[in-house]
Structure 1
Amino acid sequence: MSRDALADGWAGAFPEAGWMAPAGAVVPGVGAIEPGAWRAARPPEAEGWAYLAACEAAPPAAMSLGAVRVGQGGAFLAGAPVFSLGYRLDTPLQGGRLGALADRLTRAAPRLLEWRMLGVGSPFTDACPLALDPRLDPAGRDAALRALVTAAEADARRRGASLIAFKDLAPREAELTGDALAAAGYVPVESLPVAVLDLHGCAGLEAYLARLSAGTRKDLRRKMKGAHRVSVEWRTSISGMEAEVRALYEATRTRSRVRYGDFEDLPDGYFELVGQALQGDAVFACYRVGGVLAGFNLLLVQPDRVIDKFLGMAYPLGPEHDLYALSWIENVRFCQRIGRRYFQTGQTAYASKLRFGSALEPRTHYVRHLNPVLHALVRLAAPLLAFPRWDPDLGHAAREARA
């Protein structure tokens, strides 16, 4: 396309600004972007501007955070958080022969399977928080996305990152941006889906339980009989409990069957910072047995759903008191009590979530390597790199569905 034709396209997309093209710039973080403009460009959400800015306050040591802002004549058109880290290419592999082989290769040559990556999105959300001015028409949106991609790729080169990934695009964002990213050479790679329980039509707990299989319903009722041994406290602050809460999170993380490396690291003071930033939309359910903190849930509340962000529990105390099942029931009751239709529970531990009635909402990465030869390899390897292929719970569910 000629320069004049391109200018005519931009003028059509932004008639109030004439031929001025949108321009992208790297800023220190989402906190440096106008909060009102950001919120106007995103649906109402708990993991919005305040949440992202709180996460930027003390990032994990392995990560460097920032953001890209696209503007035109001072007006905000688009933006996204970005992060960089050393990405291990075997991250999707969870055990098995290939995972063991990759571990041996990494021990022998630590840099062989690690590429420096710039992620567009946030390591602390299950969906890419990409902000786009909703007033843009399709041509204007594509122009803003081109500016965002150009700025992100320039930032990647500055950071010495060769791999760029638009992380965890939800269906809405994938529909808005997928064609533009594909035109820019980005390859889709299937990410881990998000589990979401739809409580529409469930007026109370019994209505929810009635939807489950007879075996699951019987199991939950049996575990609920022990609920009298566990007390539940609902809080919007963990003041005085910070160390206990972090210890429970770490205990649960270390016992997980899956490992996603640096993506599991949280900012210093994460739970306190998020609680303060969300001003009541971050709720902590604290579970005690005999006065001892046996577990906690961090729940984020937004207009249509409750997001179960993190669960932490003490071992063996939590499992001995069926804390996972009891907390699930308490969270369902919480959703019903405050009138939220959806209960979203993240990208891991799918077996129980599916058994308890959740459905899976897809996520997609869009990936490009700046080296054309290596990018050709990424394109060929995209089906092998799909995260659901290697998740043990999803693999088991797929085998059951085929049986």
Structure 2
Amino acid sequence: MSHDALVGDWPGETARAPVAPLVRMVSGMAGIDATAWKAARPPESEGWAYLAACETSPPAALELAAVSVGDRSGLAAAAPLFALKYRLDTPLQDGPLAAFCDRLARRAPGLLEWRMLGVGSTFTDACPVALNPRLCEAGRAEAVAGLIAAVEAEAARRGTGLVVFKDLAPRELALLAPHLAAARYFAVESLPVAVLDLDGTGDLDGYLARLSPATRKDLRRKMKRAERVEVEWRTSLTGMEGEVRALYEATRTRSQVRYGDFEDLPDGYFETVSRALGTDAVFACYRVGGQLAAFNLLFVEPDRVIDKFLGMAYPLGPAHDLYALSWLENVRFCQRIGRRYLQTGQTAYASKLRFGSALEPRTHLVKHRNRALHAVLRLAAPLLAFPRWDPDLRRLGREGAR
């Protein structure tokens, strides 16, 4: 679906007055005042500019919008929205139950595929809800209530039953959970985010000293084999767009996990985001014999570096241990620019934990507008939890239980 079609489906200036006179449903982040948004959120790379950039050419399966709640002083609350057809078995990755659901979906496609309206973004690992910090407790409660009511009114207008506040980080969960619980939302555990704390490490040797002897020895051995690898740091992809996209798709194809439409990126994602974020988006490019063998897209924030995407050529990248080498380069980069945390996303947990990361939780808050289906989903919440089916987390859980 084109962006113009989305604008027609979600009009740019349509007022949703039943809840509050200053509630607006708009066609995307371009309809939210950028200055007001930034004032209502902590400094972040995946903020207004990033979200607006992702809207320029969205994947066909997604429809994008945004909602804002205002008061006499300006923006009180806002959030991006997305709509898609959600497969209820998305968390399942393998095993008999996943195979059964695949067979069922082929025979009765509508049974497992539900229309969903999401609060947040499929392009972020946290739910970017803006709440104006000047609000008192009562004002915040009113703003959140207006936001929830506006989202549910939009779901009703579209005939969508399933409403999800996607990937709430601890900060947003603390702010929103009491209000969402009062509106009958329940929690479904999402995939955690891996975060490496480099406080006090000083340099690479200081970081390595924190690891187990076996891991430290392994990484030092791989560092010695890196003579043929050239590393280039860039803030522009000019001339490399096709190579980078090809490496990303190659890595995605080989991934052991699949999350359907949540994995799709906008056309021209890497170039568009690079232009929108400027020097806050950095590419580390790894070449072997002149050939691009891997890249990292990194976002720079005031206290952290986010390792957003890794793309790798196969078998060239693994043959030169580029996953481990890129990890060490990212650690050096954090230390060089004075960032305490290296955040590395929601997959490949085994290596990240081995390299010293901790897991920061993410939580979906879910509601179905049909009370009977809502009750069924609530009972199924433990089965629908994403960590239950992630191969690394399942294996780590079994090992921890021994």
Under a length normalisation based on structure 1, what TM-score does the superposition of the two structures give? 0.94
Structure 2 residue runs without a partner (length 5+) = 1-18
Shift of 1:141: 0.9
* Alpha-carbon separation, structure 2, partners of 1:91 and 1:321: 33
1:205-354 alignment, distance < 5 Å:
205-354=204-353
* Alpha-carbon separation, structure 2, partners of 1:241 and 1:156: 41
* Alpha-carbon separation, structure 1, partners of 2:297 and 2:150: 34
Deviations, residues 59-103 of structure 1 (Å, cap 9, x unaligned): 000000010111123711000000000000000111011111111
Per the alignment, in what secondary structure is the counterpart of residue 249 of structure 1? helix
Shift of 1:27: 0.6
Correspondence for 1:367? 366
1:129-278 alignment, distance < 5 Å:
129-278=128-277
Correspondence for 1:380? 379
* Alpha-carbon separation, structure 1, partners of 2:176 and 2:159: 25
* Alpha-carbon separation, structure 2, partners of 1:287 and 1:371: 51
Q: Give, as a single letter, the amino acid of the residue that structure 2 aligns with 1:149.
A: I
Deviations, residues 90-130 of structure 1 (Å, cap 9, x unaligned): 00111011111111111222221000000000100000000
Shift of 1:142: 1.1
* Alpha-carbon separation, structure 2, partners of 1:161 and 1:313: 38
Deviations, residues 176-205 of structure 1 (Å, cap 9, x unaligned): 010000001101111000000000010000
* Alpha-carbon separation, structure 2, partners of 1:292 and 1:109: 46
Q: Give, as a single letter, the amino acid of the residue that structure 1 aligns with 2:274.
A: G
Per the alignment, in what secondary structure is the counterpart of residue 300 of structure 1? strand
* Alpha-carbon separation, structure 2, partners of 1:153 and 1:237: 40
Correspondence for 1:80? 79
* Alpha-carbon separation, structure 2, partners of 1:255 and 1:159: 36
* Alpha-carbon separation, structure 2, partners of 1:293 and 1:106: 40
* Alpha-carbon separation, structure 1, partners of 2:214 and 2:46: 35
**2:35 corresponds to 1:46:** no
* Alpha-carbon separation, structure 1, partners of 2:144 and 2:120: 14
Shift of 1:136: 1.0
Per the alignment, in what secondary structure is the counterpart of residue 112 of structure 1? helix
Shift of 1:23: 3.8
* Alpha-carbon separation, structure 1, partners of 2:234 and 2:348: 25
* Alpha-carbon separation, structure 1, partners of 2:371 and 2:83: 20
* Alpha-carbon separation, structure 2, partners of 1:41 and 1:357: 33
Correspondence for 1:94? 93
Correspondence for 2:117? 118
Correspondence for 2:30? 31
Shift of 1:25: 1.6
* Alpha-carbon separation, structure 1, partners of 2:106 and 2:225: 46
Shift of 1:158: 2.4
Correspondence for 2:14? none
* Alpha-carbon separation, structure 2, partners of 1:308 and 1:237: 17
Q: Give, as a single letter, the amino acid of the residue that structure 2 aligns with 1:48.
A: G
Q: Give, as a single letter, the amino acid of the residue that structure 2 aligns with 1:196.
A: V
Shift of 1:379: 0.9
Per the alignment, in what secondary structure is the counterpart of residue 91 of structure 2? coil
Shift of 1:24: 2.2
- TM-align CA RMSD: 1.1
Correspondence for 2:5? none
CA contact (8 A) 1:31 1:52 kept: no
* Alpha-carbon separation, structure 2, partners of 1:156 and 1:254: 33
Q: Give, as a single letter, the amino acid of the residue that structure 2 aligns with 1:112.
A: L
Shift of 1:21: 5.2
Per the alignment, in what secondary structure is the counterpart of residue 280 of structure 1? helix
Deviations, residues 214-251 of structure 1 (Å, cap 9, x unaligned): 11111111111111111011000101111110110000
Q: Give, as a single letter, the amino acid of the residue that structure 2 aligns with 1:207.
A: G
Correspondence for 1:357? 356
* Alpha-carbon separation, structure 1, partners of 2:254 and 2:33: 40
Structure 1 residue runs without a partner (length 5+) = 1-19
Correspondence for 1:11? none
Per the alignment, in what secondary structure is the counterpart of residue 211 of structure 2? coil
**2:126 corresponds to 1:104:** no
Per the alignment, in what secondary structure is the counterpart of residue 227 of structure 2? helix
Q: Give, as a single letter, the amino acid of the residue that structure 2 aligns with 1:259.
A: R
Q: Give, as a single letter, the amino acid of the residue that structure 2 aligns with 1:35.
A: A
CA contact (8 A) 1:22 1:143 kept: no
* Alpha-carbon separation, structure 1, partners of 2:48 and 2:100: 41
* Alpha-carbon separation, structure 2, partners of 1:229 and 1:189: 46
1:59-70 alignment, distance < 5 Å:
59-70=58-69
CA contact (8 A) 1:30 1:49 kept: yes
Shift of 1:22: 6.4
Per the alignment, in what secondary structure is the counterpart of residue 380 of structure 2? helix
Per the alignment, in what secondary structure is the counterpart of residue 227 of structure 1? coil
Over the matched positions of the two proteins, sequence identity in percent amounts to 72
